[in-house]
Structure 1
Amino acid sequence: GETTSGGWGHRIDKSIALGMLRADLTEPGTTVEVEIFGERFRAIVQKDEPLWDPKNERLRA
């Protein structure tokens, strides 16, 4: 696959990346590796829905 963009997910307090994967790797929960500037990182495929904090545990006033 190929990563098309990435950044910090402030609401979930984790790095996120958007990209394209082979169809057989798109099941949520599938573990893949992402290479960023020559270093490999473990990544987990998420559901195709917004990443957010449903319990508002990170709510800031």
Structure 2
Amino acid sequence: MKSSMKDKVEGAYHEATGKLKEVAGKVIDNAELEVKGRNEQASGKVQEKIGEVKKVMGS
């Protein structure tokens, strides 16, 4: 698997797990878990963008 595709897949995975953590944190009223979920979503979005840039650059 190309590096760019790997970054995009891993980024999507982190976004999804982050969303689950955020929702779980809201449901069980755990602010720390909610924040961790938001942070993981953000890092997933960044990783996906890195994958897109690598694809454009040909890496």
Regarding TM over 0.5, the answer is no
Query: In proportion to residue count, which structure has more helix?
Result: 2
Instruction: Return the structure number with greater strand share.
Output: 1
TM-score by length of 2: 0.29
With a CA cutoff of 8 Å and minimum separation of 6, indicate the structure with the bigger relative contact order. 2
Structure 1 length as normaliser, TM-score?
0.29
